[in-house]
Amino acid sequence: DDKLLTMPLSHPDYFNVKELFSLKDLFDARVHLGHKKGCRHRFMEPYIFGCRLDQDIIDLDQTMEHLQLALNFTAHIAYRRGIILFVSRKRQFCHLVESTARECGEYAHTRYWQGGLLTNAHSHFGTGVRLPDLLIFLSSLNNVFEPHVAIRDAAKMNIPTVGVVDTNCNPCLITYPIPGNDDSPSAMELYCKLFKMTIIRAKDKRKQNEAFEELR
Amino acid sequence: LRLIYTTTTVQRKNIGASGPEKYTEEFIKKQIEEFNLGKRHLANMMGEDPETFTQEDIDRAIAYLFPSGLFDKQARPIMKHPTEIFPEQRKIQWGEDGRPFHFLFYTGKQSYYSLMHETYEKFLNVQNYQDQLLAQDLLPQKEKRNLAGSRWLTKIELEEMLLEKLSDDDYSRFIQLLQKLMTLPCGDMEEKYIQKFSREVPAQLQKVVIEPLKYDERGVAFSTGEGKRKTAKATAVVYDNGTGKITVNGIDVLHYFPVLQDREQLLFPFQFLGRVGKHDMICTVSGGGRSAQAGAIRLASAKALKSFVTEKEVEFMRQAGLLTYDPRVRERKKPGQEGARRKFTWKKR
């Protein structure tokens, strides 16, 4: 049992997430497009490649590294049977995110975030609830263009976060930020596809390893 | 050993903070066993066969053994199966390893949001299908559906269906989504799904029975009606081809009801239908006082006039309140008060 859990941690890329995406895929899905210069957040400046006609362009090389780290992390969490919660407050992609979560076998929250869901969970759900082990933000702002409350709450409850940060977002409290566009449908579909594939891959790998252990 | 002293105020539990009472499965099972035993005892008491004792027999037996004069039917003693008495409650939402069963568990309102998700999915499917048809120019024409016979589920019914509390906003959003789905040209694809959330409103007229006209020896059409008000009971016979003559208990109306108000009450149904001088009426009335008798005759004559008139006009009469029995009775005086509502004069000292 210990070997099951410690073996993946020794490899740098046990689940081979690098092959799931390429720079060209990211470019075709318009992940590099940011918001206008006036919307730029100060902490996003290191991730921005440049500015063309007032529109910020995100550096896709950095995005590649961050995306690889983030996907690797989600794969490890899914391998160890952790609860993953997809969060997004974009009304356009609410249905897409919920369907992705349902197909993975994980959970989603794309609706109004009630006050103490994570911090006061016993009042909302009852005693003995298991909180999510990872939050994935497919859009880290809420409908009023402020940072989503769940980022702060997850940091308070020591829950790691993975989040797609656009040029107007604050990447501070997110453990694995992924600088990239969160407004285009093509970009969101790409992210959903990638997360779904990593989670399914990790779960299948876990089943395989358990089967190997039993055979011994 | 050290005794720690605590005051009773600390020990007292805040009963309200834990929420409404939760019924465990064992509790409900015990209630069902007790109910079945009690049913058999009741059957023995009434001298009936315990095996073939139905719910109606139980209701009759309870009404006989515990007669109650309370107005509110739900306040009277009842003996029903526990599943009908105790409201349905949610069981534990997660498995042994702690993972919740439903994928929207962490939103808080899982059934409501999953319902919205499903409905929106149907909406998107219909839109895609429509776009395909549009590309081939095969859009069907929308026929106007009759909306008068159906209504959407009320908020309380939806809450019962989902076993969750809803806010007014949530409810209105769901109904708006359903309406949007219905108004699409290809919305008929999802009719079965929409029908789950609509109820039929039977037109009130179906309950009203209109009797046919009777003819007496002279060949004149007539019809009878009965009416009650407070303690007065009246029967009215309305004849066709008349001059507007009204006889009450063998006495002319002007002598029986000297007050104008009572005669106006008698006149109201005829005036409403525009048949003031066209009918004769002979009525008998007993009980009650002056005004109650007038009201009873009014109801009786309106019921008699139903047979002379078209269905639409009967519906108008019903909406005007001519065909409804007036349930107002004298309210009893309560102890500690001077009358039914009037309290004794309040004295400061």
* DSSP secondary structure letters along B242-267: --S-EEETTEEHHHH--SHHHHHHHH
What pLDDT score was predicted for residue B187? 77
Residue B113 CA to residue B104 CA, distance in Å, equals 7
- Summarize pLDDT for A57-79 with one digit per residue, the tens: 999 999 999 999 999 999 999 99
**Distance, in angstroms, between A135 CA and closest chain B CA?**
12
Q: What is the DSSP letter of B333?
A: P
Residue A90 CA to residue A138 CA, distance in Å, equals 9
**Distance, in angstroms, between A125 CA and closest chain B CA?**
7
Residue B161 CA to residue B170 CA, distance in Å, equals 14
What pLDDT score was predicted for residue B86? 86
In CATH, what number is assigned to the domain containing residue B267? Answer: 3.30.230.10
CATH topology of domain A60-114+130-215: Rossmann fold (3.40.50)
What pLDDT score was predicted for residue A126? 82
Q: How many CB atoms lie within 10 A of CB B88?
A: 10
CB B240 within 8 A of CB B308: yes
Same domain, B190 and B233: no
What pLDDT score was predicted for residue B74? 87
**Distance, in angstroms, between B144 CA and closest chain A CA?**
30
Whether residue A36 has pLDDT greater than 90: yes
Which range (A38-52, B65-79, B80-94, B308-322) has the least confidence?
B80-94
Token pair of B52, please?
């073939």
- Summarize pLDDT for A104-123 with one digit per residue, the tens: 999 999 999 998 999 999 88
Whether residue B14 has pLDDT greater than 80: no
Same domain, B253 and B314: yes
**Distance, in angstroms, between A102 CA and closest chain B CA?**
6
What pLDDT score was predicted for residue A170? 93
> Residue B203: which pLDDT band, with cuts at 50, 70 and 90?
low
Residue B47: domain span: 25-85
Same domain, B273 and B191: no
Which range (A26-40, A174-188, A197-211, B214-228) has the least confidence?
B214-228
Q: Is B106 in contact with A111 (Cβ distance < 8 A)?
A: no
Same domain, B158 and B191: yes
- What integer is the mean pLDDT of B334-344? 93
Question: Which residues of chain A lie closer than 8 angstroms to B98, CB-CB?
Answer: 83, 128-130
Q: What is the DSSP letter of B133?
A: H
What pLDDT score was predicted for residue B214? 85
Q: Is A107 in contact with B94 (Cβ distance < 8 A)?
A: no
Residue B314 CA to residue B296 CA, distance in Å, equals 18
Chains A and B: how many Cβ contacts under 8 Å?
A: 47
> Residue A176: which pLDDT band, with cuts at 50, 70 and 90?
very high
Q: Is B121 in contact with A95 (Cβ distance < 8 A)?
A: yes
ipTM of the complex: 0.92
What pLDDT score was predicted for residue B271? 92
CB of B104 within 8 Å of any CB in chain A?
yes
Number of domains in chain B: 3
Bridge partners for A87 per DSSP: A109, A137
Same domain, B81 and B144: no
Same domain, B249 and B310: yes
Option in A81, A85, A126 nearest B106 (CB): A85
pTM of the full predicted structure?
0.73
